[in-house]
Structure 1
Amino acid sequence: MPIQWPEKIIFCEVGPRDGLQNEPSVLSVEKKTALVEGAADAGVKIIEIGSFVHPKAVPQMADTDELAGKFRRAAGVEYRALVANLKGVERALASGITKVKLTVSASESHAKANLNKTPRELIEGFKECTAFAAANGIEVSGAISTAFGCPFEGKVPPSQVKEIAGRMHDLGLAELSLSDTTGMANPRQVFDLSSMMRKEFPDVKWFLHFHNTRGMALANTVAGMQAGVIRFDGSLAGLGGCPFAPGASGNIASEDMIHMFHEMGIETGIDLDRIISLAKQLRDWVGHSDSSVLKAGTCADLVPLTAAKKQP
């Protein structure tokens, strides 16, 4: 039976948050504004602008409130931010951000190392966040980090991920992300877990969030599509990483992912050339990238070269 590829996917740019939060240098608000506005101008419809967390915990995100007040809002674009507690939701509301994301690890060891709480304790604390959000017209999504593997515990059992998803779903969250925080996922695992989650929670909008630590992020993306997932995260220039995953590279590069979709004939609504230009600008600002397209160009770039060689 032939594979039923999606005609269109939904893409979220997480570079301004996940891409920048582990960078040793902090970009100015002006440069962050250019990233957010540039992504929207390129046709990206969901952008994670930053996080409302304690500045001592993530100093790279300390200016998210200021950023939220500066960038130009584009019609039809969803701007969201990561929060960890009620204070974060309150800051989002005050900044005019009406979509927040709560994240919890599927691994107890990772949760404790990251936030010094167990997954159950974290989800219990989310109750006041979702109540406040509901009362103030804020939409809440969720992310399950280390859904495919933990640097301390190894592979995470699917039943464990399912339990976390169920608890998040019980809070009223109808949009959840399976996040390969440490880059340990493989295509078969992605297909199996994504298929299971879609079956167990058919009303949930599922996102997949891959890191390219071991070079399998694009293969995992394909496996996710084969399982019926149509929502994916990416980060400009392949920036990002996990402080608890030794040698971890960043998220899958947005330009690599979008390029693959376009080569497969899958619609994104995104101008790839603009995304590549934005990724190059970000690479120049931070001094590095992890992107195949930035290194080799697009497949379409080869056509003029081939034609030129045939000229007499």
Structure 2
Amino acid sequence: MPQPPFSSSPKIDVLISEVGPRDGLQSIATTMPTMNKMRWLDALAAAGLREIEVASFVPAKLMPQMADAAEVTKHACTLPGVTVMALVPNLRGANAALQAGAQKLTLPVSASTAHSLANVRRTREQMIDDVRSISQLRQDIAPSARIEAGISTAFGCTLQGVVNEDDVIRTAVLCANAGADEVGLSDTVGYANPAQVRRLFRRLRMELGPRAGAAHMHNTRGLGLANCLAAYEEGVTTFDSSQGGLGGCPFAPGASGNVVTEDLVFMFEAMGVSTGIDIALLREARAALQAGLPGEPLYGMVHEAGLPKGFIQSMDFLSKEA
């Protein structure tokens, strides 16, 4: 069970990892101003998010939305109790992220060769070599930082089609052997279904034990929450999501729509599964997001419908901090 990174917080049952500031913002044409990004991060932290993927360290000419990655990362590191995560596609990006203070690096290692070449212009085998090199770099300059390998297109690929499940698990094991502290599975293109999610995460946990990592689900075909629940029932306790459902994959045609953070938090809290996140403050953070992206469509059933009459979130975690 994940523990919050600071001792004054209570135990939680699941860790919600907010990926909107990276996955969401790099997937839209509009570039959010740096100050608005910082205000949004402040609001997310105030709501109780304990892990936030804040940026992607890639060349600005390729992804101008992430040109301020170092500045945003440095600001995020001032937020108490937040694990600051950054996506890095290669050794150069990893070095820049660690120099900026990132506490956790996530590497996209695709189980689909076609997607890997489109996404990072490297083969799966080359990316596994990069995991090894980045693990060594981490040991040299920031040994306390953690490395996560996210197995992209684990449930299918719009470019390749079916992705062999044995290839997915083999890739995950190779990443762990290369130095990844945790390895998660990503439904990059929104193909997954609950039976498939249970099957693959069961196999992943059998192979990697506690190093089996997050479930990164998309809601492209309306199964995002169902797939998260299926993963939870297999023992997964870390879930990626994006406020307002921002995000997708620019190198996977038709892959839109991350799981909405507000809806995911509500589902777990309604079940009595503690996230440590204040839903009311989370909804306020949405206003900070919208202020930085005026006119950009946001999604979410809880935002549209509101909370059920009589719904009272347990606020034990707030009373313990008071």
Paired AA for residue 303 in structure 2: L
The answer to whether the aligner puts 1:103 opposite 2:108 as a matched pair is: yes
Deviations 1:117-152 (A, max 9, x none): 210012113322111111122321111111111002
The correspondence of residues 4-23 of structure 1 with structure 2, limited to 5 A, is: 8-23=13-28
The residue that corresponds to 1:160 in the other structure is 167
Range that drifts further, 148-157 or 251-260: 148-157
The correspondence of residues 136-175 of structure 1 with structure 2, limited to 5 A, is: 136=141, 137=143, 138-175=145-182
The residue that corresponds to 1:278 in the other structure is 285
CA distance in 1, matches of 2:122, 2:179: 22
Tell me how far 1:178 sits from its aligned partner.
0.5
The correspondence of residues 83-102 of structure 1 with structure 2, limited to 5 A, is: 83-102=88-107
The answer to whether the aligner puts 1:289 opposite 2:295 as a matched pair is: no
Paired AA for residue 203 in structure 2: M
- TM-score, scaled relative to structure 2: 0.88
The residue that corresponds to 2:206 in the other structure is 199
CA distance in 1, matches of 2:234, 2:155: 15
Which secondary structure does the structure 2 equivalent of 1:125 belong to?
helix
Report if aligned partners of 1:48, 1:81 keep a CA contact under 8 Å in 2: yes
CA distance in 1, matches of 2:148, 2:101: 17
The 3 A distance-change label for structure 1 pair 264 and 112 is same
Tell me how far 1:76 sits from its aligned partner.
2.5
CA distance in 1, matches of 2:287, 2:297: 10
Which secondary structure does the structure 2 equivalent of 1:207 belong to?
strand
Which of residues 259, 268, 280 is equivalent to 2:275? 268
CA distance in 1, matches of 2:289, 2:309: 23
CA distance in 2, matches of 1:148, 1:169: 19
Report if aligned partners of 2:33, 2:292 keep a CA contact under 8 Å in 1: no
The answer to whether the aligner puts 1:230 opposite 2:245 as a matched pair is: no
Aligned length: 297
Range that drifts further, 217-226 or 147-156: 147-156
Tell me how far 1:87 sits from its aligned partner.
1.2
Q: Structure 1: where are the runs of 5+ without partners?
A: 1-6, 304-312
Range that drifts further, 135-144 or 294-303: 294-303
The answer to whether the aligner puts 1:184 opposite 2:200 as a matched pair is: no
Report if aligned partners of 2:77, 2:101 keep a CA contact under 8 Å in 1: no
Report if aligned partners of 1:51, 1:64 keep a CA contact under 8 Å in 2: yes
Deviations 1:62-84 (A, max 9, x none): 11111123346233321110111
- What is the percentage of aligned positions where both structures have the same residue? 39
Tell me how far 1:245 sits from its aligned partner.
3.5
Range that drifts further, 142-151 or 172-181: 172-181
Deviations 1:49-72 (A, max 9, x none): 111111122211111111123346
CA distance in 1, matches of 2:243, 2:210: 30
Paired AA for residue 296 in structure 1: A
The residue that corresponds to 2:47 in the other structure is 42
The 3 A distance-change label for structure 1 pair 70 and 226 is closer
The residue that corresponds to 2:61 in the other structure is 56
Q: Structure 2: where are the runs of 5+ without partners?
A: 1-11, 313-322
Report if aligned partners of 1:145, 1:178 keep a CA contact under 8 Å in 2: yes
Paired AA for residue 72 in structure 2: L
Range that drifts further, 20-29 or 66-75: 66-75
